[in-house]
A and B are shown apart, each in its own frame.
Chain A
């Protein structure tokens, strides 16, 4: 299976390539295509990065290939990790509208090239933000089921880790999913949480303890208040310590946000989640994961079928995503997910024609 990493010399792209090789996710007969941009600074850097990877990993590396134009992208799995990124200056607000403006043209260019020159069965994993816009743009040209945004899987891994951390266990003992948007409109599906070793009643009691009497109705306000509190904290060490004291769902959203604010990036964790998906595809397995996908009524939120991009638990296989695994939700999760769907639709609508799902207008303040 050949993999192309668009934006291979970016922080996330580099980590994806390195982790693919380190984790032996690709056989030595596969081709890893490093995609840069002709005329940009990445053109020369992509060739140089190829040389560095060969230098480091010749014993175990796949075949390398450099591409500098969208129509040169040839692979079975394509990772979109290029474009503008979230700001990392302390106090710099996350401006997803600006990201959308900056990155939509890039999404569209690669979508058109793949539609024109591709094989028709590539699976595209969108990493670049806004991931929902990337998914919508790609899905509109390539087909819905071939495109998945990895944001919800990354958020899910974070959610599981925060729950595990609160319980003093390791992540692999925890199940559960994050849905919604990759960012502040993430929706922790507490109803999906499973804890290995606990039966239903024990789990319900444990989850109730973790939630400390809160429900998701106040979650957006909690996030905003937490971010304001963190921005007011001048000492980054103390800021990270403050996050430690918060409930798991709030930590899931604020810890990575704080990581960006600190000037570090979340490239390693992002790449880990991405390589998880690639590894499953390379192995030919179907897995249960979470991802931003373009829905056409496969699931219902707030009593209405969803048409548009939304992060949901899905089955992912070598041909893309298939079944959506979103059952009936408790009222607070359902309402928050509906809110996320509306806000995603508002981000996507200026760039990609909306589906027929237009939820009731409610104040999202």
Chain B
């Protein structure tokens, strides 16, 4: 039986790591590329990573065609120095997360996820996790369902 053909117009999730000029207006220019085309950010974070100011990590949903349109339009901005774009579940997209559970509640990442982790939440320690973006997001989702008090995730690398 042949594989079903994916619908090219169906949206999928993407992650981009954008290196912008570290100046006012850079984020607005980048955000305008998406806003003008009716694409929302699922997440957006700015801040220095590895000492590099001007870095913006963002995730969004779009079809393959619209994703490439957004990439090409964003790359034309003079404030954008570089842009790496990958599917959300690409193994080249890495993230880190921290989970704090209510006192006495044990939490560990679900089995089968490609992450490394540490911390005894039952003992009041934060659970630190690192791995692929998709799997760290899955850990965050599981922690939310388990009643986590705080959850923080950050895209650490997109290559």
Residues of A at under 8 Å CB distance from B? 1-2, 29-31, 33, 63-65, 67, 72, 74, 117, 119-120
Contact = CB atoms under 8 A, between A and B. Distances in A.
Contacts of B28: 29
Contacts of B76: 2, 31, 33, 65, 67, 72, 74
A267 to B, nearest CB: 26
Given A63-B29, A63-B78, A65-B78, A74 B36 contact: no
B78 A119 contact: no
B118 interface: no
B144 interface: no
Interface size bracket, B side: 10 to 19
Which of B66, B68, B69 has the most chain A CB atoms inside 10 A of its CB? B69
A117 B28 CA distance: 26
B73 interface: yes
16 contacts: A2-B73, A2-B76, A29-B29, A29-B32, A30-B36, A33-B76, A63-B29, A63-B77, A65-B76, A67-B76, A72-B76, A74-B73, A74-B75, A119-B65, A119-B68, A119-B72
A77 B69 CA distance: 13
A72 B75 CA distance: 10
By Cβ-Cβ distance, the 10 closest A-B pairs, closest first, are: A29-B32, A119-B69, A74-B72, A65-B76, A74-B76, A74-B73, A31-B76, A63-B29, A120-B65, A2-B73
Contacts of B75: 74
A146 to B, nearest CB: 15
Contacts of B77: 31, 63, 65
Contacts of A31: 73, 76-77
Contact of B72 (A1, A30, A117): A117
A63 B15 CA distance: 25
